[in-house]
């Protein structure tokens, strides 16, 4: 069984064929998906998707609730209250996507930090794990996490693309690491390929971040260049090339980690 811990199924690129995408995932052995919330509206939509398909795909879909750092200016007291309400839905298993992104700075660093801390406080209050984003902001993100670490039950750095020093600092805090198709990129993924073996197997999870980051090691790539959860095995295969474990061991252990982390069966 494979578990994809990060899927943007609310994306407009899946609007016309979500049912087929879910069936494709099952056919490929991907039996559970965690759908990512990136704003109040997107978080609500991910929950709605989970509910709409719960009959035909029982126990397959789960969701996160959060406001992406790109949208951090949307974080207000009212937004926090709405997230709290949404987090009470049965489908919700984590708070996020949240964190810091100083690469694009689509929201100001001040707004991003206030939103990030607000998400941590919400996760602390509810007792859910954190689904984290970070790009070019490791120093400040680590400082904030250090301040609140004792109040955080669990956290995963989703789509890790940082350097080795940053990786080890996250691991020193007992965080989980999510690996995407970034590792399959022959140009951008070289550093990640070289360090993926540093991640303890009990801290490793895998994700597609679909529809983004199409695995470049695929033999036949879709013409629309859209990534899907059914392509998750290609990421597991690439990771196995750079670790001691077999592909099956990677699949089994990352799925076990995800079940424990998100509290899903």
* Distance of alpha carbon 176 from alpha carbon 15, whole angstroms: 31
Residues 168, 198: contact at Cβ < 8 Å? yes
Q: Which residue, 231, 226, 187, 186, is CA-closest to 207? A: 231
Q: Which two tokens stand for residue 90?
A: 């049965």
* Distance of alpha carbon 3 from alpha carbon 233, whole angstroms: 10
153: containing domain: 2-262
Residues 105, 67: contact at Cβ < 8 Å? no
Whether the ω angle into residue 97 lies within 30 degrees of 0, i.e. cis, is yes
What is the rounded average pLDDT of the residues 199-224?
97
State how far the alpha carbon of 174 is from the alpha carbons of 147, 149, 155, 209, 218, in Å: 14, 10, 8, 22, 32
pLDDT 10s digits, 115-143 = 999 999 999 999 999 999 999 999 999 99
Furthest C-alpha separation in the chain: 48
Contacts for 27 with CB less than 8 Å, ≥ 6 apart: 230
What are the residue ranges of helices labelled H in 77-209? 77-87, 109-126, 138-148, 164-172, 190-195
- Give the pairing of strands 30-35 and 61-65: parallel
Q: How many independent structural domains does the chain possess? A: 1
Per the confidence metrics, is the pTM higher than 0.95? yes
Contacts for 107 with CB less than 8 Å, ≥ 6 apart: 69, 70, 71, 72, 73, 115
Q: Which two tokens stand for residue 182?
A: 């970034």
For the chain, what's the residue count? Answer: 265
pLDDT 10s digits, 139-163 = 999 999 999 999 999 999 999 999 9
Residue keyed to tokens 């398909």: 53
pLDDT 10s digits, 218-243 = 999 999 999 999 999 999 999 999 99
Q: Which residue, 145, 201, 147, 193, is CA-closest to 170? A: 145
How does residue 265 score in pLDDT terms, banded at 50, 70 and 90?
A: confident
Q: Which residue, 87, 226, 207, 82, is CA-closest to 157? A: 207
pLDDT 10s digits, 41-85 = 999 999 999 999 999 999 999 999 999 999 999 999 999 999 999
CATH number at residue 99: 3.20.20.140
């Amino acid at each position: 069984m494979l578990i994809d811990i990060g899927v943007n199924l609310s994306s407009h690129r899946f609007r016309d064929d979500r049912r087929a995408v879910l069936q494709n995932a099952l056919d490929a052995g991907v039996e559970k998906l965690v759908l990512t919330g990136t704003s109040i509206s997107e978080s609500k939509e991910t929950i709605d998707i989970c509910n709409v398909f719960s009959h035909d795909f029982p126990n397959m879909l789960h969701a996160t609730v959060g406001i992406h750092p790109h949208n951090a200016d949307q974080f207000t007291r009212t937004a926090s209250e709405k997230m709290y309400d949404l987090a009470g839905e049965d489908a919700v298993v984590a708070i996020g996507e949240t964190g810091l992104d100083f690469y694009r700075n689509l929201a100001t660093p001040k707004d991003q930090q206030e939103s990030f801390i607000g998400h941590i406080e919400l996760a602390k209050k509810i007792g859910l794990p954190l689904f984290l984003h970070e790009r070019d902001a490791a120093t400040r993100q680590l400082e904030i996490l250090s301040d609140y670490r004792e109040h955080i039950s669990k956290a995963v750095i989703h789509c890790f693309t940082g350097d080795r020093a940053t990786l080890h600092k996250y691991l020193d805090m007992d965080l989980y690491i999510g690996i995407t198709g970034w590792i399959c990129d022959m140009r951008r993924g070289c550093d990640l390929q070289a360090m993926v073996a540093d991640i303890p197997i009990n801290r490793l999870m895998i994700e597609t971040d679909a529809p983004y980051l199409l695995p470049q090691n695929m033999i036949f790539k879709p013409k629309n260049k859209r990534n899907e959860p059914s392509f998750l095995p290609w990421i597991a295969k690439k990771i196995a090339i750079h670790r001691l474990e077999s592909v099956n061991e990677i699949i089994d252990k990352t799925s076990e980690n995800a079940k424990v982390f998100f509290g899903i069966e």
